[in-house]
Amino acid sequence: MMFPVPQRVISATRGMGIADALACLLILMVLLAPNNPSQLTPGAFVSIPLEALLGAAVLLILPPQARTAAATLFGLALGVLALTKLLDMGFFAVLARPFNPALDWPLLGNAMSFLAGAIGPFAAIGCLAAAVVFGTVLIIVMTRSVQRLMRLVVRRNLAASRAIVALAVSWLICALLGTQIVPGTSVASISSVAYLQHRASLPSTDLQSQEEFTAHAEADPFANTPDGQLLTALRGKNVLLTFVESYGRSAIEDPEFAPHVGAVLDAGNRRLRADGFDSRSAFLTSSTAGGGSWLAHGTLLSGLWIDSQQRYDEFAASQRLTLTRAFHRAGWRTVGVMPGNDTPGKRASLLGYDRVYDAQDMGYRGPRFSWASMPDQYTLLRFERTEHATRTRQPVMAEITLVSSHAPWEPIPGSSTGQTSVTAPSSTAWPQRMILRKRS
């Protein structure tokens, strides 16, 4: 006589099967997922990860007492692997490079400052808390997934053994033949092993690179050049290095932006020629992308390739001749206009500036523009009134770092509708009032 199986038993069995399938799928995704978002395509997952086969085999052959501990350790390792790949994706998306665990933790403070300026301090703290919770949950989920896979392997040990052997043979054949279903992606995958090997080599590579950087920094060919022989072709001229942040080569080559930006540049050239001036253009490769603009500024000022905070700190503390120091020695008044600096620059004198105007020195009393504390129009007018328009002075060399251009999607001062009145402190050297037009 056959007894009917209760419906709730069937539902529970189906639920376990779905949960087992999701656990296996999540493990495969973590093992096969690339760390660069540009490579995150369906073809990246058409592979057999050797790490999964070895892990399942180890769980199958271990004694019961060690099996649970091993599954927990595997799950924790996969959770950390997933977090590291996510960090890499974020860094690739913002800085066009992977996350460096030895050097990049100080950037967390910069990220929090940017978020606080863009969405407010409480929202920024909320984002940080959400990130911590997400990371913790991800590690817990990965650990539970591996533990569920362990129970599945033990429960279906015969079927699991056959599947592991069949997949291992398939992996070996594909590895020998170099089989690729998707061009550039081998079916026999060891991507996680290769990724971890690369991670393990980073500290020694960074150390060697840092030693080479130190050697280059100490080799200063202009250190002993007499002051009178520096910058002779520019004597008597004002020199302004103005950084319009976040606008690179793509602004004039990307089809989405080029027609608009090109028209503005052409109009500006026509106005310059009408006034007897001319312009020249060239490309420089930046040492950073998407953020950390002070690294690129340091590269330009020093002639060194500064692509990390460690290198910047070493450069700033050195006595290497920079552009600002060279101009200072040659008789220019050297000025840094840095409205994005919310705290006074402690290394200003070390870099060769006679005067640095940070956000507190600018005297701006108007609205913020997301992260930017003030609009670029105000920054330029402030410099014009306090430095450039002063006639009884020596020639000026200025580095001006504009800030509201960082976020072109924010309300733009000077557009067609709406007005905001901004009052500056009363002084003959300051603009008494300027009108900012804001997009509604």
pLDDT digits (tens, 9 = 90+) for 112-167: 877 887 778 888 899 999 999 999 999 999 999 999 888 888 888 888 888 888 98
Task: Look at residue 2 in the predicted model and tell me its pLDDT.
Answer: 47
The answer to whether residue 268 sits within a structural domain is no
By C-alpha distance, which of 311, 372, 289, 298 is closest to 91?
Answer: 289
Q: How confident is the model at residue 6 (pLDDT cuts 50, 70, 90)?
A: low
Q: Please determine, for residue 345, whether its predicted confidence score (pLDDT) is greater than 70.
A: no
Locate tokens 């004198």: which residue?
349
> Is 295 in the same domain as 425?
yes
Number of Cβ atoms within 10 Å of the Cβ of 32: 19
The verdict on residue 275 lying in a domain is no
**49: in domain:** yes
pLDDT band at residue 62 under the 50/70/90 scheme = confident
For residue 1, being part of any structural domain is answered with no
Do 181 and 227 belong together in one domain? no
Whether residues 121 and 238 share a domain: the answer is: no
pLDDT of residue 233: 92
* Statement to judge: residues 163 and 300 lie in one domain: no
Same domain, 241 and 165: no
Query: 204, 232, 257: which is the final residue of a domain?
Result: 204
pTM comes to 0.67
Q: From CA 413, how far away is CA 201, in angstroms rounded?
A: 48
Compute the mean pLDDT over every residue in the chain, rounded to the nearest whole number: 80
Does the pLDDT value for residue 28 go beyond 60?
A: yes
Q: Are residues 200 and 235 in the same domain?
A: no
Any idea what DSSP says for residue 422? Answer: E
Residue 255 forms part of a structural domain: no
Q: Are residues 224 and 128 in the same domain?
A: no
Same domain, yes or no: 392 and 296: yes
pLDDT band at 399 (very low <50, low <70, confident <90, very high): very high
Of 143, 178, 204, which residue constitutes the final position of a domain?
204
Which one of 204, 233, 262 terminates a domain?
204
Mean pLDDT check: name the lowest of 9-23, 361-375, 378-392: 9-23
Mean pLDDT score, 50-61: 87
Q: Are residues 130 and 170 in the same domain?
A: yes
Instruction: Note the pLDDT of residue 333.
Output: 92
Looking at the fold, whether 138 and 238 belong to one and the same domain comes out as no
Q: b/e map of 245-276 (b: 16 or more CB within 10 Å)?
A: beebeebbeeeeeeeeeeeeeeeeeeeeeeee
SS3 state of residue 400? strand
Inform me whether the pLDDT recorded for 434 exceeds 50: no
Q: Report yes or no on 146 lying in a domain.
A: yes
Is the domain of 194 the same as that of 105?
yes
pLDDT in tens, 172-221: 888 888 888 888 788 888 888 888 877 776 655 566 677 777 777 777 88
The verdict on 343 and 387 lying in the same domain is yes
Residue 164: how many CA atoms within 13 Å on its side-chain side?
19
Number of other CB atoms surrounding residue 46 within 10 Å: 15
Number of domains in the chain: 2
Token pair belonging to 190: 């060891």
pLDDT above 90 coverage of the chain, percent: 20
Tokens of 425: 């402190």
3-state secondary structure of 255: coil
Calculate ∠ Cα 303-309-312, nearest 5°: 30
> What mean pLDDT comes out for the span 31-41?
87
Q: Is residue 252 assigned to a domain? A: no
Contact present, 437 and 413 (Cβ < 8 Å):
yes
What pLDDT does 433 receive? Answer: 36
For residue 46, which amino acid is it?
A: V
Q: Which domain holds residue 166?
A: 9-204
- Is residue 214 in some structural domain? no
